[in-house]
Amino acid sequence: MDVQSEKCVMILDEALPLGLVANTAAILGITLGKHLPEAVGADVRDGSGHSHLGIIAFPVPILRGSAAQIKALRERLYDPVYAGLTVADFSDFAQVCKTYDEFTGGLRAVPESDLRYLGLAICGGKKQVNKLTGSLPLLR
């Protein structure tokens, strides 16, 4: 991943309570780490010689949007013009599942139109990511 020409952002539902904001960001971050392992830097030692696991090598702005904005953005990302982007989503359906088997088995029966997205993570070319998310404010 070329950090000069690529960008990652997360967009979270601004109406979520703090606990769900944290959970959604954590889930999206872990998913990105799996799909973009090259974005995670090498482990590093501090001045005392203690080892710390590598973290992502570039900033990931956390943006906010309404549920409707996030839904519209997710639907837009299904367009083949965005096929080069890495997109992770986390939905209300996923959030209530207790096991991964429950999630995978149940999701097959849920039409996409019925999902409410709690958050999205988008990584790829800076121009495309900025075009999609540039008007969204930071989550504060």
Query: Looking at the domain assignment, is residue 64 inside a domain?
Result: yes
Per-residue pLDDT of the chain (140 residues; tens, 9 = 90+): 676 788 999 999 999 999 999 999 999 999 999 999 999 999 999 999 999 999 988 889 999 999 999 999 999 999 999 999 999 999 999 999 999 999 999 999 999 999 999 999 999 999 999 999 999 999 99
Tally the domains of the chain: 1
- Which CATH number is 111's domain given? 3.40.1490.10
The residue segments making up the domain with residue 76 are 6-133
Query: Looking at the domain assignment, is residue 128 inside a domain?
Result: yes
Query: Looking at the domain assignment, is residue 138 inside a domain?
Result: no
C-beta of residue 59 within 8 angstroms of C-beta of residue 5? no
Predicted model pTM: 0.91
C-beta of residue 122 within 8 angstroms of C-beta of residue 76? no
Token representation of residue 118:
């709690």
Query: Looking at the domain assignment, is residue 65 inside a domain?
Result: yes
